[in-house]
Amino acid sequence: MWFLINLSKEYKTEVIFNLEYENLPQNKVFREPPVNQLKMLIKGNGFKLFTTNIFSKKVTLSLHKYKRKNLKYYLLAEDQKSELQSQLKSGLELLDVLDDTIHLNLGTFRKKKVPVTFTNNIKFKPGYGLSNVEITPDSVFISGPDDEINTINIIQTKNFQLKDVTEDVTIKIPISLPENTKNIKLSDTEVEARVIVDKYTEGTFELPINIINLPPDVDLKIYPKKVMVTYKVGLKNYSKITEESFEVICDYNASVDKNLTYLVPSFRKKSNLVSSVRITPQKIDYLIQK
């Protein structure tokens, strides 16, 4: 009886409610999770307050009433006092919102499309190599705060390993987000990669050397006049490689600047279908005729 009498009396008490948010503007996004609790001073009879504290208690604030000052965003819970009152049980009165100012870390929402790049650790059996990689989808949409979105121009797949590969492989690979981009969301979390394998063979060409940056008053003789270019290429692309796939040059000024007594051959043009490319010899003797 004493317990029931006390429950029928009116009391004032502080109650902590779980806090949720709604009506976030479409052009805004949270950069950090906002506070998820709100302390309020409530008046009501003991029974109402008792059941409020026992059972799940939750209130919602609307973000369309956020304010901004010096690039800082915040909510004044007092501005939504009537909305908060309407969410309380009948018979309870909201006297005060004790956590009145709620700071919000908001950013401007942005969405853009970025390409997916393939990262891997594939080891092939001798005589085999990578011909191509087909990624589906080859790009994804990322969305989130614009300051994080602006730092991302590509998305990489997570690294994976394959050994002793001799034939085409199709696998699902998760996408890896860069560090410090915890608020970024992806339209796809994985891609399908088709690793196209080719049997490799070796090819060679004897190519002339083009001298660049040679002063017009310098008469230069080089030996040898041609170099041997050796490369590896997949059988599927073997017929596509011709002498025109390469251009070998020697930079006269580069040798003079480094006080070299010889020229160093290098590629000005090289097909992206070849690998393990080398030039023989690595040094070209020269003689200046006066």
Percent with pLDDT over 70 in the chain: 93
The pLDDT assigned to 50 comes to 56
The overall average pLDDT reported for the chain is 88
How far is residue 228's CA from residue 226's CA, in Å, rounded to a whole number? 7
CATH ID of 200-289, from 1.10.3720.10, 2.170.120.30, 3.40.50.620, 3.40.50.300: 2.170.120.30
* CA end-to-end distance (rounded Å), the chain: 123
pLDDT bracket for residue 212 (50, 70, 90):
very high
Q: Which CATH class is domain 108-199?
A: mainly beta
Does 208 have pLDDT greater than 80? yes
What pLDDT, in 10s, does the model give residues 109-161? Answer: 999 999 999 887 889 999 898 888 999 999 999 999 988 899 899 999 998 88
Backbone angles phi, psi at 122, to 5 degrees: -100, 130
Does 4 have pLDDT greater than 50? no
What pLDDT, in 10s, does the model give residues 60-84? Answer: 999 988 898 887 899 998 889 999 9
Residues of the chain with CATH 2.170.120.30: 200-289
- Predicted TM-score (pTM) of this structure: 0.64
In the block, residue with structure tokens 């070849």: 274
- Per the CB < 8 A criterion, the answer to whether 267 and 207 are in contact is no
> 2-104 domain in CATH 2.170.120?
yes
The pLDDT assigned to 134 comes to 92
What pLDDT, in 10s, does the model give residues 184-206? Answer: 999 999 999 999 999 999 999 99
How far is residue 110's CA from residue 181's CA, in Å, rounded to a whole number? 13
From the list 204, 219, 223, the residue with the least C-alpha distance to 263 is 223
Amino acid 77 reads A
